[in-house]
């Protein structure tokens, strides 16, 4: 996922720079900027990473692609610290222009998400849940779904975050940082513990560089 976000950022930003420089020059500039970010955050504590990302956000404020990536990194790091309001605020600075809702969407009514998903899941063998990585509240939804899904016969939980052998190496009482990148976030760690306590078999499917 991190790689995908990186690629999208490059493609979006190329339009802004294509009139001023060649594609190759643009990519070299982007690569140098991302190397700066890595050097400033690698091996640092979460608080130090936040400080570095904020400084870099000021430095790269005029580079749309890098600035967008920095806001995403800041949001995710804030969520790791349990500072969820700051995580949401970081993404809000992206200033994305909302599109008008389609008339059919305007006519829809809201339902309790857990009840609606559980009811629909009876008809299927797979339930897929989307999330924004910086919004811990999305994981609360998954947490609340697990017990009902288990009772319906669901037995496997595949998570994007898990490292290659996480399902075999996880302890029963805690989740270590080596289990996967996003498991540093406390709600995600609790989600994994809850799933294991219910009996779910965890599945790793998105790992490596």
For each of the chain's 209 residues, which pLDDT tens digit applies? 322 232 333 334 444 444 455 788 878 878 888 888 889 999 999 999 999 999 998 888 888 888 888 888 898 899 888 888 898 888 777 666 666 777 888 888 889 999 999 999 999 999 999 988 888 889 999 999 999 999 999 999 999 888 888 877 787 788 888 888 888 899 999 999 999 999 999 998 887 65
Q: How many domains in the chain?
A: 2
- Domain assignment present for 98: no
Which of 66, 92, 118 represents a domain boundary (last residue)?
92
Q: Does 123 reside within a domain?
A: yes
Asked if 139 and 187 count as a contact pair (C-beta separation under 8 A), the reply is yes
Dihedral sign, Cα of residue 66, residue 71, residue 72, residue 77: positive
The Cα 166–Cα 176 span in angstroms is 10
* Residue 185 burial (10 A CB sphere; 0-12, 13-18, 19+): buried
**Does 111 lie in the same domain as 76?**
no
What's the token pair of residue 106?
Answer: 């305007």
Please state the separation of Cα 100 from the chain's center in Å: 25
DSSP state at residue 182 = G
Count CB atoms within 10 A of the CB of residue 136: 23
User: 145: closest CA among 170, 174, 120, 172?
Assistant: 120
Domain edge (last residue) among 44, 64, 92 = 92
Its domain, for residue 59, covers 2-92
Whether 108 and 77 share a structural domain:
no
Query: Do 126 and 162 fall within a single domain?
Result: yes
Out of 92, 113, 145, a domain closes at: 92
Same-domain check for residues 139 and 116: yes
Structure tokens at 166: 């996480």
CB distance 153 to 122 below 8 Å = no
**What pLDDT, on a 0 to 100 scale, did the predictor assign at position 1?**
30
């Amino acid at each position: 996922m991190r790689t995908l976000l990186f690629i999208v950022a490059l493609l979006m930003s190329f339009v802004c720079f294509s009139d001023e420089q060649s594609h190759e020059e643009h990519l070299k500039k982007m690569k140098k900027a991302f190397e700066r970010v890595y050097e400033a955050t690698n091996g640092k504590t979460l608080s130090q990473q936040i400080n570095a990302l904020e400084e870099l956000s000021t430095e790269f404020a005029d580079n749309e692609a890098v600035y967008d990536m920095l806001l995403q990194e800041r949001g995710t790091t804030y969520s790791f610290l349990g500072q969820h309001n700051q995580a949401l605020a970081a993404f809000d600075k992206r200033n994305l222009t909302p599109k008008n809702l389609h008339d059919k969407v305007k006519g829809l009514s809201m339902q309790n998400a857990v009840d609606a998903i559980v009811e629909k899941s009876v008809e299927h063998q797979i339930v897929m849940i989307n999330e924004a990585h910086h919004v811990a509240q999305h994981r609360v939804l998954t947490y609340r779904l697990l017990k009902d899904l288990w009772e319906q016969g669901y037995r496997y939980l595949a998570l994007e975050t898990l490292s290659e052998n996480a399902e075999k190496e996880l302890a029963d009482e805690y989740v270590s940082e080596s289990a996967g990148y996003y498991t540093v976030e406390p709600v995600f760690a609790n989600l994994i513990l809850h799933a294991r306590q219910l009996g779910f078999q965890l599945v790793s499917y998105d790992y490596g560089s």
